[in-house]
Structure 1
Amino acid sequence: MPFASPRGGGRAGRFSGVAGVAGVAAVLALSALPARAADIPGADEIVMSPNVSHVANVPKPAGLAATINTDIAFQGDYAFVGNYGGFSIYDIRNPKKAAVVSSVVCPGSQMDMSVYGNLLFASVDSSRSDDSCSSVAQPASVKQSWEGIRIFDISDKASPKYIKSVETNCGSHTHTLVPDRRRHNVYLYVSSYLPAANYPDCQPPHDKISIVKVPLGDPTSAAVVNTPVVFPEGGNETQPGLLLPTSGCHDITAYPEKGIAAGACMGDGVLFDIRDPENPKVTVRTTDPNFAFWHSATFNNEGTKVVFTDELGGGGEATCNEATGPTRGADAIYDIADGRLVFKSYFKIPRYQADSENCVAHNGSLVPVKGRDIMVQAWYQGGASIWDFTDSAHPSEIGYFERGPAPEGFGGFWSAYYYNGYIYASDFHKGLDIIKINDPRTNNARKVHLDRLNVQTQGSYGGH
């Protein structure tokens, strides 16, 4: 999400992203009969499709109430929710009674999260006076500034301990965890962008990623082991409507079982070969005249498709409206055929949002229905959408959940992910929402139980 610069500065009708008449009819039928949450305090403004229910909302803890929620990771009976001011750990063994176990105040946007064993990794992409949790923001032009990866020991969920920091060039906007079980390591692929000549540790051109190696037996020895260049010939600079020229990647999704990864890199979408995790190689590169900012990627379970998202307007604008239309600020579905990315269609939520509501394609995950390609996705103030892309050329929405315009004027769901029978969504201001879908097209997903979910580290259903 680039609405805030990683250097610390500021950064009633319908349409359908569905390409088939049957899909449009199904969407209109869903939208015509919205349900409202009546059993949760403060939920009067919620509207959802009849097959979706609101299970719970857990407000942000007091120490993080003034800063916005971001990404989510899961392990066992716990959800780990990032926040510009730190992170919180939630006990979700009974989703109806989910509760905060602990929160850590440790400022530094965005706090993109991943977990592995007793370790939690957090991304910091805002220039800080040092690597501590008591640091303060300062310009990246100051030579002693710090930004990068923070590592916490979460063996005691009630009392996480900060054990290590790793500084990376241009900070860490997001990171992707890539396990290497044979060598008892994990790697973090660190994505960052927006270099500037007056930033000592972020000089242009910044056409690379940073790879942090974390030995699981000695995580305090974690260090950068490689900075491979993704765009040796330079990234896209001429894309019409491009938010910024390509100067790094925003996010990478890895599928280690299949030895592949997909990179959403500002003006470009790429595929990597990651069979050697310390030396990923770009194998495919594409761009799209309708995309403004390649934001994130999701493979289907077979690894034969990838959905890229376009964060038109940087997440801060109203782009789910009639003026923007169905093909911008949307998802693009690609088949992977003979080593190539083959564009098939776009998908966008089929409900216009008010011109006051920031809304655009954002973070989502697969709903693990075997034999189908279904995902849930956050759209900021567009809420959460559950949609089917089994037919790549004719995607269709299955269900949705959303609130009315945020009183703060800016908000909504940053991430919406499916984990062990429920959808968990991190709302900027309202905390953690827990949602459930009851639909014959998705109910088989309840049979799939995961021990861990880092959404940017995909594994085959049952293979995590």
Structure 2
Amino acid sequence: MSSPRRALVMVGAAVALALTAMPAQANDIPPPDTVVTSSNVTHVRNIPKPTPIAGTINTDIAFQGDYAYVGNYGGFSIYDIRNPKKASVVSSVVCPGAQMDVAVYGNLLFTAVDSSRNNDSCASTGQSATIKESWEGVRIFDVSDKRNPRYIKSVETNCGSHTLTLVPGKGRDRNRNVYLYVSSYLPADNFPDCLPPHDKISIIKVPLNDPTAAAVAATPVVFPDGGNESQPNLLVPTTGCHDITAYAEKDIAAGACMGDGVLFDISDRLNPRVTARTTDENFAFWHSATFTNDARKVIFTDELGGGGEATCNATVGPNHGADAIYELSRGQLRFKSYFKIPRYQDDSENCVAHNGSLIPVKGRDIMVQAWYMGGLSIWDLTDASRPKEIGFFERGPRAAGGGGGIWSAYYYNGYIYGADFNEGLDIIKIDDWRTDSAKNVRTDRLNVQTQESYRNRGHD
């Protein structure tokens, strides 16, 4: 099984960074490698990448109990975060395969591989996507022993797994199975396991009492008549989804699908049904989605330039490489406004909207979000027409040169965790009247693309 990402564009990877934007004002830019924050934000701790995977970049994060699972192009690491001020690495697993999106459930860790390999093992090497025997898809690990995770199963999927979204079963099925919605895209005529038209997702069914029996159970087509292919300035035409966020208790999901934003009814887990779809002339690449707690709004991100360009500046402006806030009105998506960080970045800094999560504040809609070398932003979208930044953390340009920054920034049990490409895991705290009530919310698990309401996570 193989993926076309090598042949076209590595969206979300920023492996080869093309930094071509105009420079920001010099007095706006922190000194190289210097951490700067707003007055209500504290940098609690930085933990450098563990030696076994220090040479490859950090990506996504999942949480369960006292542990954080940080994906990395070279594998993943497990961190003990029971005391965030003294957080430490428990173990690292070397198991290469971009981009290592992660999700955790019980004793199982699911990792996404969107890099054509010569086999499914952790000792595999890269192999051309044109070779039929190449593999990519999802790897499953047993992490019951945090110091010695055990690789137990692989599942091959069409065009690999750029991202994955864990969706629990419902009703009697809830304690029996979980489902993985696998997003992949960019087929090609010379990729035997990724032929056009793709325009679909793969759904893996994982029996919880026998996870080694996990297998692809459905491949529903999202765009039977084709996706957005002709809009000017698209990064690439729609050929599938980049990422899906499921709000399982409400039986809905939001898909960020390259050139399209999509809403799904997922009441039948194996047969998600498209209920709404939209495009935006200012969006180059629909990257990710987040529901507000009441599911009355959806935030979509635009990964302009594929994450490899300096787009946080006056030249690009506020409406490109930004977030778009939509209200749900009678099941349809109604555009309200854009949000983009107000801090201009240097022409050496790749910066664009990327992965974030809600901060569980009762009665308000507040997010923390990664912006690559724009750092992370804490912003309030309670008024969907007038979103505003209320806090931030960032570093100045890299003294060593090249790009990087924070891939994902998520709030978990009182702290913000940021996975930085090069610098490792940052732990951050916000003290602000607008977010203070979130400190009372606790959860035992957080896969950000598997949203749960605050009431089920500690709110009254």
Task: Kindly indicate whether the alpha-carbon contact (under 8 Å) linking 2:30 and 2:397 is maintained by their aligned counterparts in 1.
Answer: no
Shift of 1:6: 2.8
Counterpart CA distance in 1 for 2:39 and 2:162 is 37
The whole-number CA distance in structure 1 between the counterparts of 2:152 and 2:265 is: 31
**What's 2:369 paired with?**
377
Deviations 1:65-118 (A, max 9, x none): 000000000000000000000000000000011100000000000000000000
Instruction: Tell me if 1:431 matches 2:424.
Output: yes
- Shift of residue 13, structure 1, vs aligned partner: 6.1
Per the TM alignment, residue 430 of structure 1 is displaced from its structure 2 partner at its CA by: 0.7
Shift in Å at residue 409 of structure 1?
1.0
Compute the displacement of 1:217 (Å): 0.5
Deviation at 1:7, TM superposition (A): 4.0
1:59 CA drift (Å): 0.5
1:85 aligns with 2:84: no
Residue 415 in structure 1 maps to residue 414 in structure 2: no
CA distance, structure 1, for counterparts of residue 201 and residue 288 of structure 2: 15
Mapped contact 2:50–2:92 kept (Cα < 8 A): yes
| Stretches of 4+ aligned residues off by more than 2 angstroms | 4-14
Query: Is residue 118–residue 125 contact of structure 2 (8 Å, CA) maintained in 1?
Result: yes
> Secondary structure, in 3 states, of the residue corresponding to 1:57?
strand
CA contact under 8 A between 2:74 and 2:94: conserved in structure 1? Answer: yes
Partner residue in 1 for 2:378: 386
Q: Following superposition of structure 1 onto structure 2, how do residues 18-37 of structure 1 map, counting pairs within 5 Å? A: none
Q: Determine the C-alpha separation between the residues in 1 that align with 2:229 and 2:132.
A: 29
The question of whether the paired residues in 2 share the 8 Å contact of 1:173 and 1:190 is answered with yes
Separation in structure 1 between the aligned mates of residue 349 and residue 422 of structure 2, nearest angstrom: 14
2:438 aligned with 1:449: no
Alpha-carbon distance between aligned partners in 2 of 1:70 and 1:394, rounded to the nearest angstrom: 30
For residues 144 and 219 of structure 1, the distance between their equivalents in structure 2, rounded to whole angstroms, comes to 24
Deviation readout 1:355-392 (Å, 9 max, x if unpaired): 11000000000000011000000000000000000110
Q: Pick the aligned partner of 1:186 from 178, 192, 208.
A: 178
The 3-state SS of whatever aligns with 1:220 is helix
Q: Report the secondary structure of 1:436's partner residue.
A: strand
Q: CA deviation at 1:238?
A: 1.4
Q: Is the 8 A contact 2:325 2:336 kept in 1?
A: yes
3-state SS in 2 of match to 1:198? coil
1:255 counterpart residue number: 247
Q: Secondary structure in 2 aligned to 1:459?
A: coil
Letter in 2 for 1:249: C
1:307 aligns with 2:306: no
Amino acid at match of 1:164: K
1:171-201 deviations in Å (ceiling 9; x for gaps): 0000000001522100000000010000010
Q: Deviations 1:95-146 (Å, cap 9, x if unpaired)?
A: 0111000000000000000000000000000100000000000111011000
| 1:155 corresponding residue in structure 2 | 144
Alignment-derived partner of residue 196 in structure 2? 204
Kept in 2, the 8 Å contact 1:284–1:341? The answer is: yes
Contact 2:108–2:143 under 8 Å retained in 1: yes
Paired letter, 1:301: N
1:173 maps to what in 2? Answer: 162
Partner AA of 2:43 in structure 1: H
Q: How far does residue 408 in structure 1 lie from its aligned partner after superposition?
A: 3.8
Counterpart amino acid of 1:81? V
| Equivalent residue letter for 2:224 | P
2:5 aligned counterpart, secondary structure: coil
Q: CA deviation at 1:9?
A: 6.4
TM-fit CA distance, 1:240: 1.8
CA distance in 2, matches of 1:176, 1:436: 27
| Aligned positions of 1:314-393 closer than 5 A | 314-393=306-385
User: What is residue 230 of structure 1 aligned with on the other side?
Assistant: 222
Q: Helix, strand or coil for the counterpart of 1:102?
A: strand
Aligned to 2:238: 246
In the aligned structure 2, how far is the partner of 1:13 from the partner of 1:138? Answer: 40
Contact 1:13 1:351 in 2 (8 A): no
Q: Call closer, same or farther: CA 1:10–1:259 in 2, change over 3 Å.
A: closer
- The whole-number CA distance in structure 1 between the counterparts of 2:292 and 2:369 is 14
Query: Which amino acid is the alignment partner of residue 446 of structure 2?
Result: L
C-alpha separation in 2, matches of 1:172 and 1:129: 16
Q: Hey, what's the Cα distance between the residues in 2 that align with 1:35 and 1:165?
A: 44
Output the amino acid matched with 2:429.
Answer: K
Contact 1:450–1:462 (CA<8 Å) still a contact in 2?
no
Deviation for aligned residue 1:260: 0.2
Aligned partners of 2:55, 2:132: CA distance in 1, in Å?
29
C-alpha contact 2:24 2:346 (8 A) present in aligned 1:
no
Letter of the 1:129 counterpart: N
Q: Which residue of 1 aligns with 2:127?
A: 138
The offset of 1:462, in angstroms, is 4.0
Name the CA distance, whole Å, in 1 between partners of 2:306 and 2:7: 15
Q: Which residue of 2 aligns with 1:49?
A: 38
Partner of 1:69: 58
What is the deviation of 1:165?
0.2
Amino acid at match of 1:191: S
Distance across 2 between alignment mates of 1:373 and 1:385: 14
CA deviation after TM superposition for structure 1 residue 330, in Å: 0.1
1:260 counterpart letter in structure 2: I
Letter in 1 for 2:303: E
CA shift, 1:44, in A, is: 6.6
Instruction: Spell out, residue by residue over 1:389-444, the C-alpha distance to the aligned partner (whole angstroms, 9 max, x if none).
Output: 01100001110000001234110000000000000000001100000000000010
Q: Give 1:222 deviation, angstroms.
A: 0.2
Pick one of 82, 92, 95 that aligns with 2:84: 95
Q: What's the CA shift for 1:35? A: 11
Matched position secondary structure for 1:346: strand
Residue of structure 1 in register with 2:107 after alignment: 118
Shift, 1:332, TM fit: 0.1
C-alpha RMSD of the superposition: 1.8
The SS at the match of 1:463 is helix
User: Which residue number corresponds to residue 5 of structure 2?
Assistant: 6
Q: What runs of 5+ residues in structure 2 fail to find an aligned partner?
A: 11-22
Q: State the match for 2:261 in structure 1.
A: 269
Partners of 2:278 and 2:111 lie apart in 1 by 29
CA distance in 2, matches of 1:408, 1:10: 22
Contact kept in structure 2, 1:8 and 1:127, CA below 8 Å = no
TM-score normalised according to structure 1 size: 0.92
